[in-house]
Amino acid sequence: MTDPKELLALGVDLGGTNARVALVSTATGVVESERIATSSLERPAQFIDWLTRQTATWSRDHQLVGVGIGAPNGHHGRGTIENPPNLPWPGVTPVVALLAEATGQRVTLDNDANAAALGEARFGAGLGHEHFAMVTLGTGIGGGVVVDGKVLRGADGFGGELGHLIVEPGGRLCGCGRRGCAETYASVRGLLATVREGVERGEPGADAFDDEAFRTDFEAAGRRVGEAAAAGNPLALRAYALAAEMLGRALADLASITAPSRVVLFGGLVLAGDTFLGPLQRHFEAGLLPCHRGQIELVASSLPPGHAALLGAAELAFRRAAGA
Ligand SMILES: [Zn+2]
């Protein structure tokens, strides 16, 4: 270690397809990383055993300040992963206590969206911004809100859920059981719902999507909507326009509460570029309070895909070590 101020920690991202762990430096970001298929982690003990081995390997040669974990349904305050959506783990798993016991390391946990926001805060487009929001537009919407340099978690740890701001009262049914959440329009699932509605109504451009494969292969269907929009298909363009309008409403409402200087966007919908970001910028500006207009930047994440959550998980450990 050449820089005496450099700290090292392990960051863990428990994703739907892969679980990844990285040795992360405060000075240079990811030093080394390993991954394992999430499908091989059927029981929590397998996840703990894998992380214990990785921690033993890296802690032989490096002084670590701790281990940070970002996971779906990870609860910062309780140190538990609770009914994770992409894993067959039953009920509540006390991951922090189990891993701390197995490794002797200080272990910190948060949900994956908050971890991604912390990754942007330390290493990415949130650097230098005390007030910003990170929005991941994937299958659903992941939201992390940073206020005064800290992740907004709220009294019960479930604050900052941007995807569940209601943007259309009485609108589409959401996985949370309510209607009209931003996630039901401005996510890959939302885009596909708009296109399916268009197919049922026989809207212009619907012919491109009226086949069995579109209805059954979720990932391929998402890609096809992106490609069709790039080629000018009117129904695909309408799906992006509706997503932009709804997300614009949600972000404008968020701005009136937290007044961020920046909103960082990441995920599949952002890849559509101006098809999505152009109308999003217009709807966002139109929805803002006059005092905020022209003051809040919408920017794409500058980190490589998947790095934000991994770096942010390590940042949880760095912050814990600093007493934050
Ligand atoms: Zn919802």
pLDDT at 60: 95
> Judging by beta carbons within 10 Å of its beta carbon (0-12, 13-18, 19+), is residue 131 exposed, middle or buried?
middle
For residue 69, the CA-to-ligand 1 centroid distance in Å is: 25
Centre of ligand 1 from the C-alpha of residue 30, in Å:
34
Q: Please state the pTM of the whole predicted model.
A: 0.92
The alpha carbon of 170 and the centre of ligand 1 are apart by a number of angstroms equal to 12
Q: What residues have CB less than 8 Å from 311, skipping those under 6 apart?
A: 11, 22, 24, 29, 30, 118, 119, 122, 123, 124, 303
Specify whether the CB–CB gap between 110 and 146 falls below 8 A: no
Ligand 1 centroid to 247 CA: how many Å? 13
Q: How far is the CA of 175 from the centre of ligand 1 (A)?
A: 6
Domains and CATH numbers, the chain: 8-119+306-321 (3.30.420.40), 130-300 (3.30.420.40)
CA of 184 to the centre of ligand 1 (A): 7
> What pLDDT score was predicted for residue 16?
84
> For residue 202, how far is its CA from the centre of ligand 1 (angstroms)?
28
**Residue 117 Cα to ligand 1 middle (Å):** 20
Q: Return d(Cα 142, Cα 137) in angstroms, integer.
A: 7
User: What's the confidence (pLDDT) of residue 204?
Assistant: 97
Cα of 159 vs centre of ligand 1, distance in Å, is 13
Ligand 1 ion local residues (Cβ < 5 A): 164, 174, 176, 181
Whole-number Å distance, alpha carbon 66 to ligand 1 midpoint, is 34
How close is the Cα of 15 to the center of ligand 1, in Å?
A: 21
For the record, the structure tokens of 63 come out as 């002084």
Q: Give the integer Cα–Cα distance in Å for 190 and 99.
A: 37
Q: What is the pLDDT along the chain (324 residues), one digit of tens a residue?
A: 456 689 999 999 998 889 999 999 999 999 999 999 999 999 999 999 999 999 999 999 999 999 999 999 999 999 999 988 878 898 999 999 999 999 999 999 999 999 999 999 999 999 999 999 999 999 899 999 999 999 999 998 889 999 999 999 999 999 999 999 999 999 999 999 999 999 999 999 999 999 999 999 998 999 999 999 999 999 999 999 999 999 999 999 999 999 999 999 999 899 999 999 999 999 999 999 999 999 999 999 989 888 999 999 999 999 999 987
Q: Find the 109 Cα to ligand 1 centroid distance in Å.
A: 23
- What is the structure's pLDDT at 1? 47
Ligand 1 centre and the CA of 145: distance in Å? 17
